[in-house]
A and B are shown apart, each in its own frame.
Chain A
């Protein structure tokens, strides 16, 4: 069950080299929490053991002090001491004391009953050699004892010293610690079972938004691009992912819409010339005609084919310029020269229309540009300006440096473009004036190509226009471009 759910969380969990995030999280949670539990219980156990030791040591020392006082009080009355020892051992149940008093010759003056049975007295004496403080000793019966050996002087008048051997039974302490150990193991065992479960639950909960994002993503196809990930209520990390994902979908949807609109436009634009060719040829072949008539039909078909070729060329240019990669062949160009060349090229046409075409360049402006492409872009702008001009109008070409940028302007005093058409003039196949026939207006790709070329140069193009007073198109290129 656990593994199946894991696989559900991450469909790739089974692939080599791809660890499941939930699995990793679970493993780390388990490890971390288990370590914490182990450390906590271990420390508690050690603390308890330490405290118990201290308590037994304190009681041992206390008892020693009692005996000393007794011996001093009674002035070496070994009988009194003996009674005291007997009473003590008879009364105590929980913590059993063993006391043995030896005189200077080593003969036992008093011994707690059963001490020789429970404890190995020779070992006690042996262990005491060179051990000034409290020490640990095992008994033959297996129970551990804590013991101390001290010397005391029973009477200030007597020169001999007695030896006091004292031991305390640690069985109860061991029982307490043993019970504690059972608890420790129980807690650890519980943690071992509990931690992975909790870790897994946390990991699953934490990765749930991810699964939901993946689920949404899996369902999105080109026809359901309007679906979005609902990122509300998700933790901030996933919400950010969701938002980025949504933004990507937004862009995808937009470019898909543009693409399908574009395809429809292409089909439409191709349909007209093909229809003309087909119709003209069909009608011409319907009956016999004079050579002049044939010539006329053929010439017309040729014109339509040329228009088709140009349309295809423009479309290919746009398509190619959108594919990634640097398409520019940059050279260092005098932009003023570029403008005067353009003026020369269009001069005859402008003169014939009664339009004055001028190019003005302040200081010499140089830029690293693709000459052929920029020429084409600016040529399209001049063509466009000419199309909106009539006798008496003027077109001015101007290039100048502006901050860190190069600004090229094509300004005309022609008929202008309406405010509602203005934002769309750079769209493909868009014609500001629907009444203008294709013969005079081209396919409506001219400005789209301009924009694409400027974008390729890393620049921007802006258009402003007022009905009746003219249009200004500004191409802004980065200086380094």
Chain B
């Protein structure tokens, strides 16, 4: 997958490049709008990460030009401004998603993957990570053939982690996806729930699947794959 990052702030561009490269993307960086447009014309990118506040030609301009040229390359906008009119403007101009600085890199990665996955493939009725198996229709989870006794919410949480196995999910994202809570208070609600889930999914087994990523969130993955 080829990614173009148009970002004038060198530090941001640099960590984005490293992060995406390590996640398996081929990354090009453009430090201004004009360079970005030049690169778009030459290389077939799968997705463009576009900063709005660029010197000279801003991100809106690049986006307008891109859609005007009939290119349907998905665009994810990064910006430090998150007033609602800005979001609306971005989406109206044909951006696919919108992320406000400061953001968690894991969230950016997750969103990029989501855009690239569209349209979503039909979800399998059984999801598997290592010896963990989720029967999505029967709402049953088994590990090493052993039935796990989970509450409804715990199953929802586990299926979220399994469906996005390998991705680090932030607490905000988890709270939103599992409880439909659009905020992340200063309490440890998500941590408590993950801890409880872990006591059922991981604690009885030698191989640990659920990992805490400090300062970011949680990820479920098969440790032997890495």
Contacts and interface: CB of A to CB of B under 8 A. Distances in A.
A379 B185 contact: yes
Given A380-B185, A446-B185, A345 B215 contact: no
A379 B179 CA distance: 12
A344 B179 contact: yes
A329 to B, nearest CB: 9
B153 A442 contact: no
B189 interface: yes
Interface string B165-198: 0000000000100011111111111001100100
A386 interface: yes
Interface string B143-165: 00000000001000000000000
A312 B102 contact: yes
A349 B187 contact: yes
Given A302-B214, A306-B215, A320-B83, A348 B189 contact: yes
B183 A372 contact: yes
B215 A348 contact: no
B184, B186, B196: which has the most chain A beta carbons within 10 Å? B186
Contacts of B83: 320
A182 B134 CA distance: 118
Contacts of A301: 215
A376 interface: yes
Contact of B215 (A302, A349, A442, A446): A302
B13 interface: no
Q: Chain B, interface size: which category? A: 20 to 34
Nearest to B152: A344
A442 B186 CA distance: 6
A441 B153 CA distance: 27
Majority secondary structure of chain A interface residues (helix, strand, loop or mixed)? helix
Given A302-B215, A306-B215, A348 B183 contact: no
B136 interface: no
A303 interface: yes
A383 B185 contact: yes
Interface residues of A, number: 33
Interface string B112-156: 000000000000000000000000000000000000000001000
A352 B192 contact: yes
Interface in A130-162: none
B186 A348 contact: no
Interface in A298-315: 299-303, 305-306, 308-310, 312
Interface string A359-375: 00000000000011001
Interface in A402-460: 441-442, 446
B181, B185, B193: which has the most chain A beta carbons within 10 Å? B185
Given A299-B215, A375-B182, A379-B183, A345 B102 contact: no
B53 interface: no
Nearest to A372: B182
A327 B144 CA distance: 51
Interface in A307-348: 308-310, 312, 316, 320, 341-342, 344-346, 348
Contacts of B182: 371-372, 375-376
Contacts of A383: 185-187
Nearest to B83: A320
Contact of A346 (B180, B183, B189): B189
B216 interface: yes
Interface of B: 82-83, 102, 104, 153, 175, 179-189, 192-193, 196, 214-216
7 contacts: A302-B214, A305-B215, A312-B102, A345-B181, A349-B192, A372-B183, A441-B186
